[in-house]
Amino acid sequence: MRLVILNHPFRYEMEKLSREFFPEGIEIKEEVSGEREIVTSLFENEISVRFDSLEKRADISSLKEKNDIERLMAQLLYSVLSEKTCYSPSWGILTGIRPSKVMRNNISRSGEQKAKKYFTDELFVSEKKTDLALEVAKREQKIIDLSKNNSFSLYISIPFCPTRCSYCSFISHSYESVKKLIPEYVEKLVEEIRLTGKIAKDLGLKLETVYFGGGTPTTLEADDLKAITCAVSESFDTEKLREYTVEAGRPDTVTAEKLDVLKQSGVTRISINPQSFNDGVLEAIGRRHTGKQTEEAFLLAREKGFDNINMDLIAGLPTDTLSGFKNTLDKVLSLSPENITVHTLSIKRSSFLSEKADYSAALLAEQMLLETEKRLYGNYFPYYMYRQSKTLGNLENVGWCKEGREGFYNIFMMEEVHSVFACGAGAVTKLRSVKNENIERVFNFKYPFEYIKDYESVIKRKDRIYGFYNSYNN
């Protein structure tokens, strides 16, 4: 679909909103061709949106703020496209990745009732999604309030997996393809962790949460995991951590020996992620394990004493059906993990699925999310939420938990509550000022071979942490 931008600076928002109605792709133009196209324009004191035979206009002479004009144009665009396509996306014109943050900010300014009204009347968000954003916002706030001015979290990147899933766009590599790099990678990672610990100590910071992600950290052998976790415990004060999470996302990487290492290292929370319990779906997305292996890994973790386990599911996976997704929910609920995170499939350009995306799965994914809410509410509660670009139906990812079992790191990181120091290939340190909420990023090299080769540059970049804290936080 062609989107024409005439004389206004709102290209990004108009493109994102148009993509909700035409997910197969948007082509941006700056002149009218006469073909079937969406035309958005701003001339003098009037904005307009036209699609096919329907055109809507609005006077903007009384509007002084750019954001107000952009929102009004988005409202016109949504109204025109909804009417012509007979489709009304449930998140309305709200295209950002953090709906609950928008809700929290509006509650802070105007109170709960006006915040809800703003969502439904100005952003055109459905009542159901508005209620979801409100509940998540209130639960997030309780966790956010725990963070202090000297708080920070630590992220450790292990960018290796047994195989790469077809939907994955993360920087991850199959274990076999980079096996020869791993000893040196672990050695450099341990050095970086120790340096980062010194920086945190010099700055007088308090570590709140640790998160090992990737990739799949448990792709590493037990000895390598032990070396890395030992570096963490030797370099940081982990005695008062609120949470210590390690992704054991691929059940085919979970062993008794690795679980013993994690338990002995003080890890308090792990993820064992089925994505689906349908073996046919698992095969279709390139995961070399079965639903039975997921159950066995979960039960082994329970046997080893892990009492805080998350399980990830994905709605809208290729070949999955509503009945199959219901069966997956049945199985997960029978295991009774403390956290269940339900993602909506996102079709990323760098994933293997990108060339054969079936966007007709959007309605099915929405049915799956509705089924999730119906089945989980009562025993579980939504506690954090975010959205990704190119997600089926512009839908959301929601973390559900049993009462009092929220995942702290998820909220601290997603809502940018405090700084997150990151170590390893592909890791990005996010520095947050306590004075004005400014965010600055310090990037590590993406790929393990770059990280190893240019390790001195990685270490040199870490000096920016000192500069940031001296500039913003003193």
Which residues have C-beta within 8 Å of that of residue 34, sequence separation ≥ 6? none
HSE-up of residue 443 (Cα within 13 Å, Cβ side): 5
Is the pLDDT assigned to residue 473 strictly greater than 70? no
pLDDT at residue 60, as a whole number: 97
Using alpha carbons, list the distances in angstroms from residue 71 to 5, 48, 79, 102, 275: 15, 13, 12, 14, 36
More confident residue, 24 or 340: 340
pLDDT at residue 101, as a whole number: 95
pLDDT at residue 96, as a whole number: 85
- Can you tell me the distance from the alpha carbon of 473 to that of 23, in angstroms, rounded to the nearest whole number? 43
Q: Contact, 462 vs 442, CB < 8 A? A: yes
pLDDT band, very low/low/confident/very high, at 355 (cuts 50, 70, 90): very low
Span 23-58, pLDDT tens digits: 878 999 999 987 899 999 999 999 999 999 999 999
| Mean pLDDT, the chain, whole residue set | 92
Q: Which two tokens stand for residue 215?
A: 């990739």
Which residues have C-beta within 8 Å of that of residue 53, sequence separation ≥ 6? none
52-63 burial: b if 16+ Cβ within 10 Å, else e? eeeeeeeebeeb
pLDDT band, very low/low/confident/very high, at 363 (cuts 50, 70, 90): confident
pLDDT at residue 373, as a whole number: 95
Is the pLDDT assigned to residue 358 strictly greater than 50? no
pLDDT band, very low/low/confident/very high, at 384 (cuts 50, 70, 90): very high
Q: Contact, 243 vs 209, CB < 8 A? A: yes
Q: How far apart are the first and last CA of the chain?
A: 51
pTM of this structure: 0.91
pLDDT at residue 150, as a whole number: 95
Q: Contact, 417 vs 411, CB < 8 A? A: yes
pLDDT at residue 103, as a whole number: 97
pLDDT band, very low/low/confident/very high, at 349 (cuts 50, 70, 90): low
Q: What is the mean pLDDT of residues 275-290?
A: 89
Specify the range with the lowest mean pLDDT, choosing from 17-31, 140-154, 291-305, 370-384.
17-31
